[in-house]
Structures are given as C-alpha cells and as structure tokens.
Amino acid sequence: MRIDVLTLFPEMFDGVFGSSILGKARDKGLVSLSTVNFRDYANNKHNTVDDTPYGGGGGMVLKPEPIFAAVEDVVRQASEQESARDEESGTGKARVVLMCPQGEKFTQAKARELAAEEHLVFICGHYEGYDERIREHLVTDELSIGDYVLTGGELPAMVVIDAVVRLLPGVLGNEQSAVRDSFSDGLLEYPHYTRPPVFRGWKVPDMLLSGHHAEIEKWRRAQSLARTLARRPDLLESAELSDKERQWLASERARLSGEAPEPD
C-alpha cells in the first residue's frame, strides 16, 4: 500500500512513521509512508496556500490550486511506479481522504475498508476551512476521529493511518494478530492479571489460578459481558451473543433497574 499525507507540518509525522509497528511495516516494504508539503505546490511567488473567504467573515480558506496540484502529482507518481513494476493498470484510483471536523466518524469498519485500497492520500489542514471545490471534485472521503476540537488534521491522520496499516497482511506478528479483534465479538476485554498473585494485599481472582481452562473461559466471557454492559451498553446492540447471554443481559438490566427478579 502507498500512503501520501499532504500537510504544512510534515515534521509532525517523522516519529510516528519511523517507530514501532509502522516503522517495521515500512522497513519490511509492506507500506510506503510519505509526506508532501503542499506549500511546495503554491502557484504564487509568496507561496501562499490560503486566502480570505469570498463573502467576507473571519478566518482563512485553503486555496484549491496547491492541493489539487499536490494530489495530482502523488497520483501520477503512483501510476508511474505501478507501470514500472509492470502491474495491472489501476491507474490513478486513489482514495483521497480529507481530515475535517465535519467528516464521517472514523470506525474500525472504515479502517477495514481503507485497508483494502492500494493508494491512500490524506489531506490535513490547520484551522482554516477548505475551498468547497476540494470537497466536491477531489476528495472521495471526509473523516473525523471524534467530537472534540483539535488544532489540525495531522494527529487524526496519524490515528487513521495507524489503524489501517496494522490491518495489512504481514504487519502484525501472528501473536497479536488482527484475528483477536474479531474474536472478541464486539465486547470489551475481560480483566487481565499477571504475577505476583498478591500485590499490596490485592489478590488475583482465584478462578484464574485454578487451572480449569473451560471455567476460566466462561469467567472471562461473563466479565466481558458485564463490563460492556456497565461501560459501553451501545456495543451490545451489534455484539454476537448466545441466547443464554441475551437472557442474562435481560435479567441483569432488570436487576439494575430495580425490578423484582423472575422466578427460575
């Protein structure tokens, strides 16, 4: 996969692209990660990339020319690279992702969708708006990472890239493989413990020291379910649950709302 990030602050990506799992994925040749300073594509002698909005009002708006030119350049580079490698011509089909507070909320489903692409181009801005023609005629996706205000699209782009690259084949060792994501069936994780068995008087649950693996699995599943009900009940709507688990949930909800218990 090829990933290009258009930003006025390329140095922000140096540490993230070079370290840990992303750095290893890049070293193994599983992904290419590049930044492009779209100021280099400014079409005027002062290298300006923004201008005042038509119709007045405060703030600045990112001009279309530098961003169109930068995207068209990386798309051209990608197709040249592809034809040099004698690959099937997927000429110029890139997903062009605009990072913005008004975008669709980024989810694991979106990460899986983007992980199936060959070329991703991210556009990051900093407090300015974007000329609407960028949205209308260049961008394929608009993404936000959540309802809080940041200073720019760079950190959100890093979040999305991290979530996508770890899904690419060969990036994770089979130990912590992406299989475990779906394994958990959309529930929160159960509590984990390691040595010592007693720390400052706080004991590890006896169940985990019992060696009864089938019972331990049941305990963990019950812990996951109870924790999800307490912290993220919204996840239960789409979780994969057995009939027995649904019954337990119904009785637990009834109990928490102070209802008299069902007879057995």
User: Contact positions toward ligand 9D3, by CB under 6 A?
Assistant: 99-101, 125, 127, 144-146, 148-153, 156
For residue 218 the two structure tokens come to: 């049941």
Q: Between 145 and 164, whose beta carbon lies closer to ligand 9D3?
A: 145
For residue 52 the two structure tokens come to: 């005042």
Give catalytic status of residue 245 as yes or no. no
Task: Compute the least distance from the CB of residue 59 to ligand 9D3, in Å.
Answer: 6
Give catalytic status of residue 181 as yes or no. yes
Residue among 35, 49, 13, 36 at smallest CA distance from 126: 49
Residue among 142, 151, 146 at smallest CA distance from 122: 142
Task: Compute the least distance from the CB of residue 116 to ligand 9D3, in Å.
Answer: 22
Which of 101, 112, 142, 185 is flagged as catalytic? 101
Q: Between 96 and 208, whose beta carbon lies closer to ligand 9D3?
A: 96
**Nearest-angstrom CA–CA distance, 205 and 202:** 9
Place of tokens 């280099």: 40
Give catalytic status of residue 221 as yes or no. no
98, β-bridge pairs? 123, 142
**Nearest-angstrom CA–CA distance, 100 and 208:** 45
Which of 181, 185, 220, 252 is flagged as catalytic? 181
Q: Between 147 and 206, whose beta carbon lies closer to ligand 9D3?
A: 147
- The residue ranges of DSSP E strands in 106-194, in sequence order, are 119-123, 129-130, 141-144
Q: Between 101 and 186, whose beta carbon lies closer to ligand 9D3?
A: 101
Give catalytic status of residue 4 as yes or no. no
Task: Compute the least distance from the CB of residue 105 to ligand 9D3, in Å.
Answer: 9
C-alpha distance from residue 55 to each of 58, 61, 65, 240 (Å): 10, 12, 20, 52
Tell me the catalytic residues: 101, 128, 166, 181
